[in-house]
């Protein structure tokens, strides 16, 4: 038997199994979880059944399988997939709660950097992205161009304009650059 024939036979077995188990598994999941989660869990269940098609008890090579033979094992797979989905949801919820708590505990954005974030928010989305890639990620205009799909020249122009807008928003257009002292690097004599 060639590999292609084996795949066709496996696909035919899976299709026979799916015709028998999809509706009962859908009903099973509807009774155990929210409607918005059912399709995802059913899809994951079908992926597991595809991967483990040779392990499904009662699934022969010929005619349609008997639901009484294959469904109990498939319910077990669906039960495991549902448990995995619930654990994943729990992790996501805990992560969101942790992020909310950490944001509430450290009001850095609001207190220390509120003006900066407001100035960034006032920029166009692409200008903000270019500026952030330059300032926060330390990318050169050539690298920013590669990341954004713009030309290096367009990036340089956007970067120059964005820096001017930020400086004007923060009222530092003619002010002394922060972090520098006039006599820095000079001797006192």
For 180, phi then psi, to 5°, come to -120, 140
**Tokens in use for 29?**
């999941």
Contact 111, 145 (CB under 8 A): no
Percentage of residues in the chain having pLDDT higher than 70: 85
CA 85 to chain centre: 16
Quote the CA–CA distance of 164 and 173 in Å, as a whole number: 8
Task: With 0.85 as the threshold, say if the pTM is over it.
Answer: no
Overall fold of domain 3-100: Rna Polymerase Sigma Factor; Chain: A (1.10.1740)
Q: What pLDDT is attached to residue 88?
A: 94
- For 42-74, the pLDDT digits (tens) are 999 999 999 999 999 888 777 788 888 899 999
In the chain, residues under CATH classification 1.10.10.10 are 110-169
In the chain, residues under CATH classification 1.10.1740.10 are 3-100
- For 118-151, the pLDDT digits (tens) are 888 888 888 888 888 898 888 889 999 888 888 9
Q: What pLDDT is attached to residue 168?
A: 86
| The architecture CATH gives domain 110-169 | Orthogonal Bundle (1.10)
């Amino acid at each position: 038997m060639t590999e292609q024939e084996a795949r066709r036979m496996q696909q035919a077995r899976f299709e026979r199994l799916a015709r028998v188990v999809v509706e009962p598994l859908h009903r099973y999941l509807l009774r155990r979880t929210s409607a918005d989660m059912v399709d995802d869990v059913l899809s994951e269940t079908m992926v597991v059944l595809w991967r483990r098609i040779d392990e499904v008890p009662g699934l022969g090579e010929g005619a349609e399988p008997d639901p009484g033979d294959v469904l109990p094992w498939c319910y077990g797979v669906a039960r495991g997939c549902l448990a995995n989905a619930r654990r994943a949801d729990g992790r996501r919820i805990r992560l969101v709660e942790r992020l909310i708590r950490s944001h509430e505990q450290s009001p850095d954005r609001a207190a220390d950097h509120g003006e900066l974030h407001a100035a960034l928010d006032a920029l166009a989305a692409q200008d903000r992205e270019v500026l952030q890639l330059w300032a926060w990620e330390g990318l050169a205009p050539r690298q920013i161009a590669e990341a954004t799909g713009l030309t290096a020249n367009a990036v340089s122009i956007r970067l120059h304009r964005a820096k001017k807008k930020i400086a004007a928003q923060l009222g530092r257009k003619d002010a002394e650059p922060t972090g520098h002292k006039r006599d820095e690097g000079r001797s006192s004599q």
